[in-house]
Chains A and B, each alone.
Chain A
Amino acid sequence: MIKIFGYELKRILKSWLFLAMLIANGVFAWFVLATEIVMGIAYTAPFSVWSYCTYIGKTMLIAVITVLLMLAGYYGKKQKQVEILTLATPITPAQQLILRTAVLSVCFFLLYIEAAVLAAVFYSSLFQYTSFGAYVMPSVLLVVPCFLFATGLGHILGRVHQSLVYLLLAILFIVGLGSITNAFDLFGVGYFSTYPLTLPVDSSGEALYVMDGAWVAARLVYLVIGVLLFIVNVRIKYKPTRA
């Protein structure tokens, strides 16, 4: 199982799609940092949790797009053609799904790490700011539910038809543009750039970071839905279809 995971991961990481998206993610992340985040989000410092989470929300869109493109590949014509061979292996479809999701999570994580490292370089070189510990909890709450929800839904839709994954990709892209500003904002771009404006400020005029109950609840909802979708995916009996 671990060996297959290693092979699958190697295959995906060496693919042109991942490499291209890794580069695109890096360029986009730096562009966001250098043009928007540097000015500070919602009048807060560029290195505030609000600014950082807005930045991560923006780059997460690229990460989700990458993961969904890869996921769509699992439900493509080529994969269906080799299905008869993969089904003949001792790996069950459920195990295969877990394996693939694990590979996707590594890719997603790598893309996040790339963005986080760039932010760390940016903050430390420009502002000599290195207190990154405050970012950990909000980042986890932002990133994990987003991944689980997108891949869970992607797998379900991919089973129906590959094109539905692309439809999901398009919908998430529109959502990611930041038009939703309430706690249910999946990527958090709209939420993190507007919520601080409603908060009281400290003596220096800065809106301090507070973990909003509604937002945490919304993240947990996404997390639970994601996990449920994953369980449903694992439990549903796989029916091979003709290529």
Chain B
Amino acid sequence: MKLISLYRVELRRLLLSKGVWLVAVLSLCAPLLGYSLYPSIWMESMTGDYIGNPVLAGTTVGAVFWAVLAMKESNRVYRNNTSVLTDAIASPLSLSTARVIAMMTISMLVTCVCSVIYLPYTMVKMEYLFQADFYFANFLVFMLPTWWISILLAESFYQLSSRMEIAVILYILLVCLSLMGVTSSGYFEKWINPMVIAFSDGFVTWWPLRMGLYTRVTWLCIAIGAWCISLLAIRKYQKGLLLSVGIGLKKVSVLVGAIVFVVLGVLLWVKQPFIDHGPDEWILEDEMVWSSGTISEAHYTIETHPRTGTITAKAEYEVKRPYDGEAELLLNPGYDIKSITYDGEEIAFWTSDEHVDGHRATYFEVPGGSKNGGKLLTVEYSGFPTLAKVMAWFSVQDVVDEEYILLGGETLFPMTEYYSIGKSFLEITIPDDLTPYLDHVPMTEYLDNQDGTRTWSSECSVYVRDFSAAKYEMATFMAGDTEVKFSYSEVYHDAVEEIGAVQAVKDVLEYCTAHYGKYDWIDKNSLILLQKGAIVTGGYAHKGVSTWFESVLSPSTLADAEKGASATDVFIHEMVHQWWGDLGLQCEDDGLWSCEGLTVYTTYRIAKERYGELYAKQYYVDQWQAAVDAQNRNFYNRHPEYFELLPETYQARIRMTNEGTNKYMRMPLVILKAQELVGGEDAMDEILREMYACRSHYGFNYGYEAFSYDDFLKFCGLTKEELNLD
């Protein structure tokens, strides 16, 4: 029988099999695990929660189901002792091929059905953040190829071993390798559970998907190669493994296919362009370099290519005094230096193979040394920015995409300790619909190239920590005597309008400034409040600039009733954290006392001022009281002896609920009680003002202990007993 006829027969047979339908239904249910039980994405975002997690859970769990089916189907003819008959009709090689292709066809149909089934729920939950192309791409990039890989590997293991139990053990071992990882940077080892750190809602980048696709293609090549090898091992003439392989080697086309795909897979793995090939840990260089070379001015001209994710760039240095001997330039390992010229003449350079902490060294020597100064040193480089291996587990940094660009440090221009640099200037060409921020400050000067790009220019520091460009919108307004530039992704335009975010920011700034003191990061009556994407870890604040996370405006955050009565109140809560939080007064977190208590209390006070006492009582004080009452009535809080009997999982759940109630409900009530005892709102405001004024004496950022509950009691002149709610 021809392969196509066999394929049709196999497809029909499989579609009539109850086992296939069971696997299909189970695979369709598997994404449900991603919503709560099996979340894969580290950073919280709506796209991660409602697209990434379900798809990745479905990918992993579904892959196991398809593998079980593949092994069961391979074993079927042997189990039923019908192999003699089937072998007489068609060769086992053709049968295996037809069966695998038929299973891959069905898994493809199931993927399509799966994407359609979860579509309405995802759309409803994600609201305006939903992007259809991104949604479907996740299924096609992660789910389908992984299921195929799983089918091929399971089939291979069975063909190689001809024993169900051995095939299962081999498969489990490979799954364990993927789930646990052998090396700490085993991004590519994760064949069944693709690793995605973050998906951003407002600062969408497709690079996590592109990286995912690359790993899928790599593993698909390896799996096809392994499957081709297993075809050679199909038992023939009642022979064992080795003799069967010997006979199978006569099938030259299969042998060539096996070699080609395995080699291709290994090459793709080894030569992957996304993560550098440096060590897994930071290598801190303790050797100090004397910057004896001097550069009066540095000009960096960078052109971004969002379609390919690459840059081409030129660094020009006006060298006043060259360094004597071999100097070092550090660049991102993904970049290649095309040429280094001095005064128009090409000079020799060599690049190290070693990647350290996300950069690679290139060495060059100016002819004539320090006596040959006053000329122009030019470095031309280009390439695709790679992620430092040491950072691969933390975040996706340094991307050049059509809607989002993030570059910094050695991914922008070369760094050197051998030269001290006077002034630096940056010229960067990016798509014209993106707004650039250089070290969190908006760039203002640009030249429209009339080709869909703009070249932005600005003076910059010697080390640019962060260049980001996205589709930002900016609202400029006055809050008191401070000009505020409130920047957010244009995706949140409607949300900002709906919750009156601009007015809320104004209210928060005015209220907190009037009651607690001027915000630290305001510089010369100016403040930039810049929203950052979920893929960026950590916050940032400096004179005149403060960042805030995109999750602040996501529908799930705005619906969090613990933080405020309405979406606007939740937003206010998050903004108040600029005073009570890492960027203001850093509070100790002891499970009851933390920055949350002060923030919720302040949010309540702002709500009282905005909407009146009745509203504040109904939606804040009464809610706090109800939650505290519920906590007091909880069986395990009343009976700690039974709490001790519970398994750790339940204890952790209760502790977590209690902690939430303590921080967000009980502590605001405690502060409210303190307010009564110290003499009312004005007296409390004065205390909080004093606390805020002392912020430089507290907090890890300043090298001190954080502000504790005992400190709060001292400021209030109260004791713990006096503030006891029970």
Contact = CB atoms under 8 A, between A and B. Distances in A.
A66 interface: no
Given A38-B650, A204-B638, A205-B638, A43 B645 contact: no
B634 A38 contact: no
Contacts of B645: 126-128
A45 interface: yes
A93 interface: no
Contacts of A205: 632-633, 638
B635 A46 contact: yes
A38 B646 contact: yes
A76 interface: no
Q: Is the interface of A mostly helix, strand, loop or mixed?
A: loop
Interface in A189-219: 201, 204-206
A126 B643 CA distance: 10
Q: Which size class do A's interface residues fall under?
A: 10 to 19
Contacts, number: 33
A43 B646 contact: no
Interface string B620-655: 000000000010111110110010011100100110
Interface of A: 38-40, 43-46, 126-128, 201, 204-206
A206 B653 CA distance: 21
B646 A40 contact: no
A40 B635 CA distance: 7
B477 to A, nearest CB: 47
5 contacts: A45-B642, A127-B645, A128-B645, A205-B632, A205-B633
Contacts of A128: 645
Contacts of B654: 39
A205 B631 CA distance: 12
Contacts of B653: 39
Nearest to B650: A38
Contact of A43 (B635, B642, B647, B650): B635
Contact of A40 (B632, B634, B647): B634
A205 B630 CA distance: 11
A126 B633 contact: no
A237 B207 CA distance: 74
Nearest to A40: B635
B635 A44 contact: yes
B636 A40 contact: yes
A45 B636 CA distance: 8
Contacts of B633: 43, 201, 205
Nearest to B632: A205
B355 to A, nearest CB: 48
Contacts of B634: 40, 43
A38 B636 CA distance: 10
Contacts of A43: 630, 633-635
What are the 6 tightest A-B residue pairs by CB atom distance, in nearest-first order? A40-B635, A43-B633, A205-B638, A45-B635, A205-B633, A127-B645
B25 to A, nearest CB: 14
Contacts of A126: 645-647
Nearest to B633: A43
A205 B646 CA distance: 20
Contacts of A38: 646, 650
Contacts of A204: 638-639
Nearest to A44: B635
A45 B653 CA distance: 17
Nearest to A204: B638
B635 to A, nearest CB: 4
A46 B632 CA distance: 16
